[in-house]
Amino acid sequence: MFSSKEQLQKRTGPHGIGRFSYLQSLVTEFQDTDSLESKQEVLANLANFAYDPVNYEYMRTLNVIDLFLDCLDESDEKLVEFGIGGLCNICLDKSNKEEILKNNGVKLVMKCLSSPCEETVLSAITTLMFLVTPVSKADITCLPIVECMLRFSESKNTRLSNLAKVFLEDYCDKSQIEAARQVQERMRTQNSSS
């Protein structure tokens, strides 16, 4: 449920820990801990807080978007999963979207499409769709991504297949899809002749 700043202040009272302070303590814990399990837990909490618009300003102030982006380069799949989940939750806001795009977000999110974790891939596709703007659309609907979505659209996994079909139908034109099909056909021909 979404909250207003006034509702949060009323619930926490004059002596309770405020939302900003709590988020700040999570960020500090993430940065200070050496425990992978603790990092995963804290990042999952931050990703959950990223859905609520009342937290957006706090998260920008605390550089949580950069933290989410940094986690996309981690070797631990859970950190990647929670990082992309946080981005997916926060990126519909215009300022957050601009921040993600400005910091090489499309390329980092694109790498998540090859994750072995289904939730990571689903969040990556959704995030890419949410990041589409007139300026970013060409990068997001580039041939490698469209070809990847074409492959996903043929998956037996209905969640993956349906989401990829939405991406193709809503963000790609027929010429982009046809170019991706031609790439797939060339790859099939090369593989069958090898």
Q: What is the pLDDT of residues 2-29, one digit of tens each?
A: 455 565 455 544 444 589 999 999 999 9
Helix (H, G, I), strand (E, B) or coil at 95: helix
Q: pLDDT tens digits for 55-78?
A: 999 999 999 999 999 999 999 999
Mean pLDDT over residues 162-174, rounded? 97
Rounded Cα distance between 167 and 149, Å, is: 7
d(CA 30, CA 131): 26
Q: What is the pLDDT of residue 55?
A: 95
- Enter the pTM of the model: 0.89
Joined tokens for residue 11: 């619930």
E-only strand ranges, the chain: none
Q: Is the pLDDT of residue 91 over 80?
A: yes
Task: Give the tens place of pLDDT for each residue, 113-152.
Answer: 999 999 999 999 999 999 999 999 999 999 999 999 999 9
How far apart CA 52 and CA 138 sit, in angstroms, is: 29
- Cβ atoms of 87 and 109 within 8 Å: the answer is yes
Q: Among 55-59, 61-65, 171-175, 183-187, which stretch is predicted with the lowest mean pLDDT?
A: 183-187
Give the Cβ contact number of residue 103 at 10 Å: 14
For residues 182 and 166, what is the distance between their CA atoms, to the nearest angstrom? 20
Distances, alpha carbon 51 to alpha carbons 8, 44, 96, 142, 193, in Å:
15, 12, 12, 28, 49
Both tokens of residue 101?
């795009």
Question: Residue 193: its pLDDT value, please?
Answer: 78
Given a cut of 70, is residue 112 above it in pLDDT? yes
Check if the beta carbon of residue 65 is closer than 8 Å to that of residue 100: yes
